[in-house]
Amino acid sequence: MTIDGWTCPIPLRNQPNVVMGHGGGGMLSAELIEHLFLPAFGGTRLADMADAALLDLPQGRVAFSTDSFVVRPLFFPGGNIGELAINGTVNDLAMRGAKPLYMSVGFILEEGLPLSDLGMIAESMAAAAKQADVEIVTGDTKVVDRGHGDGIYINTTGVGTVPAGIDIGPSRVTPGDVIIVSGTIGDHGIAIMSVREGLGFEADAVSDTAPLNAMVADLVEADLDVHALRDPTRGGLAATLNELAASSGTGIVIDQDAVPVRRVVAAACEILGLDPMYVANEGKLVAFVPEEHAEEALSVIRSETYGGEAAIIGKVVGEHPGMVVATTPLGTTRVVDMQVGEQLPRIC
Amino acid sequence: MCLGIPGKVIEITGEDFVRTGKVDFDGIVKEVSLAYVPDVGIGDYVIVHVGFAITQLDEASAHETLALLRQLDVVREELDPEVALAAQRARATGNAT
Amino acid sequence: MKYLDEFRDPEVALRLIEEIKELATRRWVLMEVCGGQTHSIIRNGIDQLLPDAVEMVHGPGCPVCVTPLETIDKALAIAARDDVIFCSFGDMLRVPGSDEDLFQVKGGGGDIRVVYSPLDAVAIAKDNPDKEVVFFGIGFETTAPANAMAVYQASQDGLENFSMLVSHVLVPPAMCAILDSPHNRVQAFLAAGHVCSVMGYEEYYAICQKYKTPIVVTGFEPLDLLQGIKAAVIQLEDGKAEVHNAYQRAVRPEGNLPAREMIADVFAVTDRTWRGIGMIPVSGWKLSDRYRELDASVRFSVEGIQSKESELCHAGEVLQGTLKPDECPAFGKECTPRTPLGALMVSSEGACAAYFHSGRFARAVAL
Closest CA to A41 of A67, A14, A9: A9
Q: Chain B residues within 8 A (CB-CB) of chain C?
A: 1-6, 8, 17, 25-26, 33, 35-38, 45, 47, 49-52, 54-55, 57-59, 61-62, 64-66, 69-70, 72, 84-85, 88-89, 92-93, 95-97
CB B49 within 8 A of CB C91: no
At residue A152, the pLDDT reads 97
CA distance A189 to A208: 9
3-state secondary structure of A57: coil
- Cα pseudo-dihedral A257, A259, A265, A267, rounded to 10: -10
Closest CA to A314 of A285, A291, A335, A334: A291
At residue A14, the pLDDT reads 61
Closest CA to B5 of A186, C40, C347: C40
CB C249 within 8 A of CB B57: yes
Å between B12 CA and nearest CA of chain C: 18
Q: Are the beta carbons of C1 and B1 separated by less than 8 Å?
A: no
Identify the band that residue B95 occupies on the pLDDT scale cut at 50, 70 and 90: very low
Identify the band that residue A198 occupies on the pLDDT scale cut at 50, 70 and 90: low
Range A242-265 average pLDDT? 96
CA distance C132 to C295: 12
**Which residues make up the CATH 3.40.50.11750 domain(s) of chain C?**
5-61+171-245
DSSP A6-56: ---SS-GGG--B--GGGGTTSHHHHHHIIIIIHHHH--HHHHT--SS----
Q: Which domains does chain B have, with CATH numbers?
A: 5-57 (2.30.30.140), 60-93 (no CATH)
Identify the band that residue A265 occupies on the pLDDT scale cut at 50, 70 and 90: very high
At residue C363, the pLDDT reads 61
The chain A residue lying nearest C365, using CA atoms, is: A320
At residue A31, the pLDDT reads 86
CA distance B93 to B82: 17
Q: Which amino acid is located at A72 in the chain?
A: R
Q: Are the beta carbons of C337 and A325 separated by less than 8 Å?
A: no
In three state form, how does the secondary structure of chain C look? CCCCHHHHCHHHHHHHHHHHHHHCCCCEEEEEEEHHHHHHHHHHCHHHHCCCCEEEEEEEECHHHHCCHHHHHHHHHHHCCCCEEEEECHHHHHCCCCCCCHHHHHHCCCEEEECCCHHHHHHHHHHCCCCEEEEEEEECCCCHHHHHHHHHHHHHCCCCCEEEEEEEECHHHHHHHHHHCCCCCCCEEEEEHHHHHHHCCCCHHHHHHHHCCCEEEECCCHHHHHHHHHHHHHHHHHCCCCEEECCCCCCCCCCCHHHHHHHHHHEEEEEEEECCCEEEEEEEEEECHHHHHHEHHHHCCCCCCCCCCCCCCCHHHHHCCCCCHHHCCCECCCECCCCCCCHHHCCCCCHHHHHHHHHHHHHHHHC
pLDDT at A98 over 90: yes
A222 touches chain B (CB under 8 A): no
Please report how many Cα atoms fall inside a 13 Å half-sphere around the Cα of residue C193, on the Cβ side.
Answer: 28
Please report, in angstroms and rounded to a whole number, the separation of the first and last CA atoms in chain C: 39
State the burial class of residue C6 (Cβ atoms within 10 Å of its Cβ: 0-12, 13-18, 19+). middle
Identify the band that residue C354 occupies on the pLDDT scale cut at 50, 70 and 90: confident
Q: Are the beta carbons of B45 and C6 separated by less than 8 Å?
A: no
Among A214-228, C32-46, C338-352, which is the least confidently predicted range? Answer: C338-352
Is C5-61+171-245 a domain of CATH 3.40.50.11750?
yes
Q: Are the beta carbons of C1 and A319 separated by less than 8 Å?
A: no
Identify the band that residue A270 occupies on the pLDDT scale cut at 50, 70 and 90: very high
Which residues on chain C are in Cβ contact (under 8 Å) with A341? Answer: 94, 103
Range C311-332 average pLDDT? 84
The chain B residue lying nearest C156, using CA atoms, is: B17
Å between C351 CA and nearest CA of chain A: 14
The chain A residue lying nearest C14, using CA atoms, is: A330
At residue A3, the pLDDT reads 47
Q: Which amino acid is located at A304 in the chain?
A: E
Question: How much of chain C, in percent, has pLDDT values that exceed 70?
Answer: 97
A223 touches chain B (CB under 8 A): no
Q: What are phi and psi of C18, to 5 degrees?
A: -60, -40
Q: Are the beta carbons of B26 and A203 separated by less than 8 Å?
A: no
Q: Are the beta carbons of C114 and A333 separated by less than 8 Å?
A: no
Q: Which of A264, A346, A347 sits opposite B28 (nearest CB)?
A: A264
Range A186-196 average pLDDT? 92
Which residues on chain B are in Cβ contact (under 8 Å) with C66? Answer: none
The predicted-structure confidence for C186-241, as pLDDT tens digits, reads as follows 999 999 999 999 999 999 999 999 999 999 999 999 999 999 999 999 999 999 99
The domain made up of A170-335 has a fold known as Phosphoribosyl-aminoimidazole Synthetase; Chain A, domain 2 (3.90.650)
C15 touches chain A (CB under 8 A): no
Q: Strands across the sheet with A251-255, in order?
A: A228-230, A286-289, A178-181, A311-317, A251-255, A324-327, A333-335
What does pLDDT average to over chain A? 91
Identify the band that residue B88 occupies on the pLDDT scale cut at 50, 70 and 90: low
Identify the band that residue B16 occupies on the pLDDT scale cut at 50, 70 and 90: confident
Domain limits of chain A?
12-162, 170-335
Q: Which chains touch B (3 or more CB pairs under 8 A)?
A: A, C
The chain B residue lying nearest C201, using CA atoms, is: B97
At residue C367, the pLDDT reads 44
Q: Which CATH architecture has domain A12-162?
A: 2-Layer Sandwich (3.30)
Q: Which of A251, A328, A345 sits opposite C44 (nearest CB)?
A: A328
At residue C155, the pLDDT reads 97
Checking ipTM against 0.85, whether it exceeds it is: yes
Angle at C346 between CA C108 and CA C150, to 5 degrees: 70
Range A64-73 average pLDDT? 95
Identify the band that residue A95 occupies on the pLDDT scale cut at 50, 70 and 90: very high
The predicted-structure confidence for A217-233, as pLDDT tens digits, reads as follows 999 999 999 999 999 99
Q: Are the beta carbons of B66 and C231 separated by less than 8 Å?
A: no
CA distance A117 to A151: 9
Q: Are the beta carbons of B17 and C153 separated by less than 8 Å?
A: yes
Please report, in angstroms and rounded to a whole number, the separation of the first and last CA atoms in chain B: 24
The chain A residue lying nearest C123, using CA atoms, is: A198
Window C:142-201, CB contacts with A under 8 Å? 143
Identify the band that residue A175 occupies on the pLDDT scale cut at 50, 70 and 90: very high
The chain C residue lying nearest B69, using CA atoms, is: C12
The chain A residue lying nearest B30, using CA atoms, is: A201
Q: Strands across the sheet with A61-69, in order?
A: A61-69, A152-162, A99-110, A135-144
State the CB neighbour count (10 A cutoff) for residue C365: 13
Window C:133-152, CB contacts with A under 8 Å? 139, 143
The predicted-structure confidence for A137-154, as pLDDT tens digits, reads as follows 999 999 999 999 999 999
Residues near C327 by beta carbon (within 8 Å), at least 6 away in sequence: none
CA distance A153 to C68: 40
Å between A296 CA and nearest CA of chain C: 31
Local structure of residue B54 (DSSP, 8 states) = E
pLDDT at B90 over 60: no
Top residue of A194, A271, A344 to mutate, by most chain B CBs within 10 Å, is: A271
Q: Are the beta carbons of A348 and C35 separated by less than 8 Å?
A: yes
Q: Are the beta carbons of A348 and B3 separated by less than 8 Å?
A: yes
- Cα pseudo-dihedral A160, A163, A164, A170, rounded to 10: -70
CB C172 within 8 A of CB C290: no
Range B15-42 average pLDDT? 94
CA distance A152 to A72: 10
CB A95 within 8 A of CB A230: yes
C39 touches chain B (CB under 8 A): no
The chain C residue lying nearest B92, using CA atoms, is: C231
Å between C63 CA and nearest CA of chain B: 7
DSSP A222-280: TT----EEE---TTHHHHHHHHHHHHHT-EEEEEGGGS---HHHHHHHHHHT--GGGS-
Among B52-66, C105-119, C333-347, which is the least confidently predicted range? Answer: C333-347
**CB-based burial, C220-244: b 16+ in 10 Å, e otherwise:** bbbbbbbbbbbbbbbbbeeeebbbb
Q: Which of C45, C93, C349 sits opposite A334 (nearest CB)?
A: C45
CA distance C135 to C84: 10
Q: Are the beta carbons of C234 and B89 separated by less than 8 Å?
A: yes
**Which residues make up the CATH 3.40.50.11740 domain(s) of chain C?**
65-170+255-272+281-299
- Residue range C65-170+255-272+281-299 forms a domain whose CATH class is alpha beta
Q: Are the beta carbons of B88 and C22 separated by less than 8 Å?
A: yes
The predicted-structure confidence for A271-320, as pLDDT tens digits, reads as follows 988 999 999 999 999 999 999 999 999 999 999 999 999 999 999 999 99
State the CB neighbour count (10 A cutoff) for residue C270: 15
CA distance A328 to A298: 23
Which residues on chain A are in Cβ contact (under 8 Å) with C44? Answer: 328-330, 332, 334
Q: What radius of gyration do chain B's Cα atoms show?
A: 19
At residue C98, the pLDDT reads 86
pLDDT at A199 over 80: no
CB C73 within 8 A of CB C98: yes
Q: Are the beta carbons of B1 and A346 separated by less than 8 Å?
A: no
3-state secondary structure of A218: helix
Which residues on chain A are in Cβ contact (under 8 Å) with B48? Answer: 271
Q: Is the dihedral of CA C76, C80, C84, C89 positive or negative?
A: positive
